[in-house]
A and B are shown apart, each in its own frame.
Chain A
Amino acid sequence: MVEQRRFRVFRGTRQQGELKEYQVAAGEGMVVLDAVHAIQAEQAPDLAVRWNCKAGKCGSCSAEINGKPRLMCMTRISDYQAGETITVTPMKAFPVIKDLVTDVSWNYEVNKRIPAFQPRAPDAPDGTWRMYQYEVERPQEFRKCIECFLCQDVCHVLRAHGKHAEFMGPAFLVRAAVYEMHPLDEADRRSYLREAGGIGYCNITKCCTEVCPESITITDNAIIPLKERVVDANYDPIAALWRKLTG
Chain B
Amino acid sequence: MAAADLRTHDYDVVVIGAGGAGLRAAIEAGAQKAKVALVCKSLLGKAHTVMAEGGAAAALGNVMGEDNWRVHFRDTMRGGKMHNNWRMAQIHAQEAPDRVTELEAWGALFDRTPDGRINQRPFGGHTYSRLAHVGDRTGLEMIRVLQDRAVHAGLDVHMECTIVRLFVVGGRVAGALGYFRETGRFVLFRAGAVVLATGGIGKAWQITSNSWEYTGDGHALAYAAGAELIDMEFVQFHPTGMVWPPGVRGILVTEGVRGEGGVLKNAKGERFMFRYMPEMFKGDFAETEAEADAWVKGDRKKNRRPPELLTRDVVAKAIVREIAEGRGTEHGGVLLDIASKQSPDYIKQKLPSMYHQFKELAHVDITKDAMEIGPTTHYVMGGVKVDAETQESTVSGLFAVGEVGGGMHGANRLGGNSLSDLLVFGRRAGLHAAAKRGAPPSIPDADVEATMREALQPFERDGENPFAVQSALQAVMQRHASIIRDKSGLETALTELEKLKGRARNVGITGSREYNPGWHTAIDLRSLLVVSEATARAALERTESRGAHTRSDYPDSDERQAREQIVIKKEGERMVVRREAQPPLPADLIKLIKEGA
- A→B interface (CB under 8 Å): 13, 27-31, 34, 40-42, 45-60, 74, 76, 97-99, 101, 103-105, 108, 111-112, 116-117, 119, 122, 127-133, 136, 139-140, 143-147, 178-179, 182, 184-185
Q: How far is the CA of A127 from the CA of B360 in the complex (A)?
A: 42
Within 8 A of A (CB), among B52-111: 101, 104-107, 109-111
What's the nearest-Cβ distance from chain B to residue A123, in Å? 8
Cross-chain contact B105 with A143 (CB below 8 angstroms): no
What's the nearest-Cβ distance from chain A to residue B98, in Å? 9
18 A-B pairs within 8 Å (CB atoms) are namely A27-B247, A29-B244, A29-B247, A46-B509, A49-B517, A52-B212, A53-B48, A53-B50, A55-B51, A55-B248, A98-B514, A98-B515, A99-B515, A111-B148, A112-B152, A133-B111, A143-B109, A178-B109
Q: Which residues of A contact B510 (CB under 8 A)?
A: 45-46
Q: Which residues of A contact B141 (CB under 8 A)?
A: 143
Known A-B contacts: A13-B514, A136-B112. Give 16 more (CB < 8 A): A27-B246, A40-B517, A46-B516, A46-B517, A52-B47, A59-B46, A74-B360, A111-B148, A128-B101, A143-B141, A144-B137, A146-B50, A147-B46, A178-B109, A182-B109, A185-B107
- B→A interface (CB under 8 Å): 42-48, 50-51, 101, 104-107, 109-112, 114-119, 134-135, 137, 140-141, 144, 148, 151-152, 157, 159, 182, 211-213, 244-248, 251-252, 353, 356-357, 360-362, 465-468, 471, 509-512, 514-519, 521
Q: How far is the CA of A188 from the CA of B118 in the complex (A)?
A: 26
Q: Which residues of B contact A50 (CB under 8 A)?
A: 42-43
Cross-chain contact B43 with A60 (CB below 8 angstroms): yes
Q: How far is the CA of A55 from the CA of B50 in the complex (A)?
A: 11
In chain B, what residue has the closest Cβ to A183? Answer: B109
Q: How far is the CA of A133 from the CA of B349 in the complex (A)?
A: 12
Cross-chain contact A147 with B45 (CB below 8 angstroms): yes
- Known contacts A117-B107, A119-B107, A136-B109, A30 near B46 by CB under 8 Å: no
In chain A, what residue has the closest Cβ to B352? Answer: A144
Q: How far is the CA of A55 from the CA of B252 in the complex (A)?
A: 9
Q: How far is the CA of A111 from the CA of B147 in the complex (A)?
A: 10
Q: Which residues of A contact B212 (CB under 8 A)?
A: 51-52
- Known contacts A53-B211, A76-B361, A182-B107, A58 near B51 by CB under 8 Å: yes
Q: Which of A42, A97, A178 is in CB contact (< 8 Å) with B182?
A: A97
Q: Which residues of B contact A147 (CB under 8 A)?
A: 45-46
Cross-chain contact B112 with A74 (CB below 8 angstroms): no
- Known contacts A55-B51, A147-B45, A29 near B514 by CB under 8 Å: no
Q: Find the residue from B45, B109, B152, B252 having the highest chain A CB count within 10 A.
A: B109
Q: Which of A31, A98, A128, A179 is in CB contact (< 8 Å) with B107?
A: A179
Q: How far is the CA of A48 from the CA of B160 in the complex (A)?
A: 13
Q: Which residues of B contact A42 (CB under 8 A)?
A: 465, 467
What is the predominant secondary structure among interface residues of chain A facing chain B? Answer: loop
Cross-chain contact B247 with A31 (CB below 8 angstroms): yes
Cross-chain contact A48 with B516 (CB below 8 angstroms): yes
In chain B, what residue has the closest Cβ to A48? Answer: B515
Cross-chain contact B134 with A143 (CB below 8 angstroms): yes
Q: Which of B112, B140, B247 is in CB contact (< 8 Å) with A143?
A: B140
Cross-chain contact B109 with A140 (CB below 8 angstroms): yes
Q: Which of A60, A103, A178 is in CB contact (< 8 Å) with B42?
A: A60
Q: How far is the CA of A111 from the CA of B144 in the complex (A)?
A: 11
Q: Which residues of B contact A45 (CB under 8 A)?
A: 465-467, 509-511, 516-518, 521
Q: Which residues of B contact A46 (CB under 8 A)?
A: 509-512, 516-519
Q: Find the residue from B144, B213, B519 having the highest chain A CB count within 10 A.
A: B144
What's the nearest-Cβ distance from chain B to residue A78, in Å? 9
Q: Which residues of A contact B47 (CB under 8 A)?
A: 52
Q: Which of A57, A59, A131 is in CB contact (< 8 Å) with B112?
A: A131
What's the nearest-Cβ distance from chain A to residue B506, in Å? 15
Q: How far is the CA of A27 from the CA of B159 in the complex (A)?
A: 34
Cross-chain contact A57 with B137 (CB below 8 angstroms): yes
Q: Which residues of A contact B182 (CB under 8 A)?
A: 97, 101, 103
Q: How far is the CA of A50 from the CA of B247 in the complex (A)?
A: 18
User: Closest 6 interchain pairs by CB?
Assistant: A29-B245, A45-B518, A46-B511, A130-B116, A117-B107, A41-B467
Cross-chain contact B517 with A48 (CB below 8 angstroms): yes
Q: How far is the CA of A122 from the CA of B105 in the complex (A)?
A: 8
Q: Which residues of A contact B211 (CB under 8 A)?
A: 51-54, 58
Cross-chain contact B152 with A116 (CB below 8 angstroms): yes
Q: Find the residue from A29, A51, A139, A182 having the highest chain B CB count within 10 A.
A: A29
Q: Which residues of B contact A127 (CB under 8 A)?
A: 101, 105
Cross-chain contact A28 with B245 (CB below 8 angstroms): yes
- Known contacts A57-B353, A132-B116, A136-B112, A52 near B360 by CB under 8 Å: no
Q: Which residues of A contact B519 (CB under 8 A)?
A: 46
Q: Which residues of A contact B43 (CB under 8 A)?
A: 50, 60, 104
Q: Which residues of A contact B137 (CB under 8 A)?
A: 57, 143-144
Q: How far is the CA of A41 from the CA of B117 in the complex (A)?
A: 49
Q: How far is the CA of A139 from the CA of B108 in the complex (A)?
A: 10
Q: Which of B140, B512, B517 is in CB contact (< 8 Å) with A146?
A: B140
Q: How far is the CA of A136 from the CA of B134 in the complex (A)?
A: 10
Q: Which residues of B contact A104 (CB under 8 A)?
A: 43
Q: Which residues of B contact A184 (CB under 8 A)?
A: 107
Q: How far is the CA of A234 from the CA of B512 in the complex (A)?
A: 53
Q: Which residues of B contact A140 (CB under 8 A)?
A: 109, 134-135
